[in-house]
Amino acid sequence: MKLPRIKKNETTVLLVIMVLVALIMIVMNSGMFLTYNNLKGMAFQLPELGILTLGMMVVMITGGINLSIIATANMAGISAALILKAMEGSPTMGILTAMLVCLLVSGSIGLFNGFLVAYVGITPILATLGTMTLFNGVAIVVTEGYVISGFSPAVLFIGNGSVWGIPFPLLIFIGCAIAMSVLLRKTRTGFSMYMIGSNSMATKFSGIHNNAVLMRTYLVSGLCSGVAALVMISRFNSAKSGYGNSYLLVTILAAVLGGVSSDGGFGRVSGVVVSLVTLQLLSSGFNLLRVSSFLTTAIWGFVMITVMIINNIIDTKVKRV
């Protein structure tokens, strides 16, 4: 009876903070914040981190963690870039093949993670630390540390174009968020992910095939990295190992801030979206104020700690009553 109420509070706390942040930013930036350009800028920046966070979230719901999401994205991005370069002669086929290969590579790495976690039995944090290092390495070996750059306009559209004035990456993100939400709330696999995250022994004794669910979890996480990779190479107009490394820990932060339990079993896409918007509001607002982006990083950390402390205090209060 108590648990759902705490969960509700968490989202409420976050929503209040989001509104507060938005108001503060609007006041501090007197008129510059609510401009079309600023909002559009935010809409272009959010999706990369957003899609990666979805990939982190789904694994965290099963009680795991995926440290290899960035390495997977880079590996997939580099594969796609190599195909695009090799097939420059036939652009349409090139793009389709590149997309396919991108998802294939990221999906395979995801399945490999799933295999290590489910069948070999390695703790997720160590398994994905290993694959992170491994595929970072493979990416460096394949590119020899160089940048692959210069893609056709069609490719660039993915990360930079707009449809009816809405940035295309934002549409991709919304699509991913809806798909993830449906997966988690409306499918057997999604249902089982939450249950496994809470108690994998009980799911085993209920006839749920834990290993299959875990394989799918890491597959989905890998595919998120693949989609993020397409947006990334398009926005940077290049691919390289090591892009976006700083996103890794931020995705965990964003997921937890959005109410995903680091012990597994709980977390909704809506909470994560609110958390991503809050982080983006902070980042864009400070950017307009010409504050160093690193101060933004610091403030992200500060907000995170504050929210966790507030939640803890509410939690103990509720328990006492």
Binding range to another protein, per CB under 8 A, among 39-47, 72-80, 81-89, 130-138: 130-138
Residue of 9, 147, 154, 191 interacting with another protein (CB under 8 A): 191
Minimal distance, residue 90 CB to another protein, in Å: 31
Closest CB to another protein among residues 168, 300: 300
Sole binder of another protein in the list 256, 269, 276, 281 (CB under 8 A): 256
By CB under 8 A, residue 270 contacts another protein = no
**Shortest distance (Å) from residue 1 CB to another protein:** 4
Residue 61: which of 192, 222, 210 has the closest Cα? 192
Is 289 a binding residue for another protein by CB under 8 A? The answer is no
Per-residue HEC secondary structure of the chain comes to CHHHHHHHHHHHHHHHHHHHHHHHHHHHCCCCCCCHHHHHHHHHHHHHHHHHHHHHHHHHHCCCCCCCHHHHHHHHHHHHHHHHHHCCCCHHHHHHHHHHHHHHHHHHHHHHHHHHHHHHCCCHHHHHHHHHHHHHHHHHHHHCCCCEECCCHHHHHHHHCEECCEEHHHHHHHHHHHHHHHHHHHCHHHHHHHHHHHCHHHHHCCCCCHHHHHHHHHHHHHHHHHHHHHHHHHHHCEECCCCCCCHHHHHHHHHHHCCCCCCCCCCCHHHHHHHHHHHHHHHHHHHHCCCCHHHHHHHHHHHHHHHHHHHHHHHHHHHHC
Verify binding: residue 131, another protein, rule CB under 8 A: yes
Name the minimum Å distance from CB 61 to another protein: 12
Would you count residue 129 as binding another protein (CB under 8 A)? yes
Query: Largest alpha-carbon pair distance within the chain?
Result: 70
Q: Which of residues 5-64 bind another protein (CB under 8 A)?
A: none
Residue 312 half-sphere exposure toward CB, CA atoms < 13 A: 6
Q: Of 234 and 261, which has the nearer Cβ to another protein?
A: 261
Smallest separation (angstroms) from another protein to the CB of 95: 29
Judged by beta carbon, residue 115 or residue 157, the one nearer another protein is 115
Q: Does 135 bind another protein (CB under 8 A)?
A: yes
Given the rule CB under 8 A, which of 19-27, 89-97, 148-156, 205-213 is the region that contacts another protein? 205-213
**Is residue 269 a contact residue for another protein (CB under 8 A)?**
no
Among 16, 39, 182, 289, binds another protein (CB under 8 A): 182
* Nearer residue to another protein within complex by CB, 136 or 234: 136
Which of 37, 201, 290, 319 binds another protein (CB under 8 A)? It is 201
CA–CA dist 309, 314 (Å, integer): 9
Q: Does 145 bind another protein (CB under 8 A)?
A: yes
Identify the residue among 28, 206, 289, 318 touching another protein (CB under 8 A). Answer: 206
Q: What is the rounded distance in angstroms from the CA atom of residue 186 to the CA atom of residue 225?
A: 22
CB closer to another protein out of 199 and 237: 199
Interactions with another protein, residue window 67-86 (CB under 8 A):
67
Size of the site for another protein (CB under 8 A): 74
